[in-house]
Structure 1
């Protein structure tokens, strides 16, 4: 039915099949990688239809794929993350709490933040932060808040 001569001489069809396979792979993985190569295959199919040599088809396939990957992937990733809100502990970064148990140098203490008690350490590990001090959450390490005194935080700005 389809001989090697038919397939080898029909590069536009081959490129369309490659584009479809890559599109299916992208749909299954959602990795935002193969979709760009799918675009390269479409361009290669178009130039194959106008009779471009095989070397030009492959060159355009790789050039278009890499250009699409490099320039559009970051934009698409940002667009796909629209509306993503910080959840759980990430939402605590930048919030203000109060020390309920003194944070010792190179040790932990307790901070009350949004009605919950958290284990906390000082951003500057040599610092002692006394009870009832207002602190700002800098980041989270594991299950501990990393905090700086609010006064120190405003002085540094």
Structure 2
């Protein structure tokens, strides 16, 4: 097995590049993308260089990518800086539909883009099913909503 791997290092670099690319798609930080580029560089060098030279190529290409290419990518794709929200924080400000009555000083359910959230109205209002609501906050998996006006929906 070791003989096969040492004779076909390009396959190892392909797997490393693929895994780094997959993990990069889950993070969006552009760090792992630099290691993907480094692994591709090492893959290409595997046809003409030995293992230690491939490691040097991987490290050098990855470092160059991190220090030179990554800042441009971050500036281009994340031009809004720290204002970028992700995951559950991106739901704040969205409009949803009440699917289960939100009881006064109690809980209900709200559908937003196919996801069903446990919701509470901090204003202490009863909101019937079918009404539109706006998300104003979030505490763990429970969203805080208020009735949406016609201005908010447009």
Q: TM-score, normalised by structure 2?
A: 0.50
Q: TM-score, normalised by structure 1?
A: 0.49
Larger Rg: 1
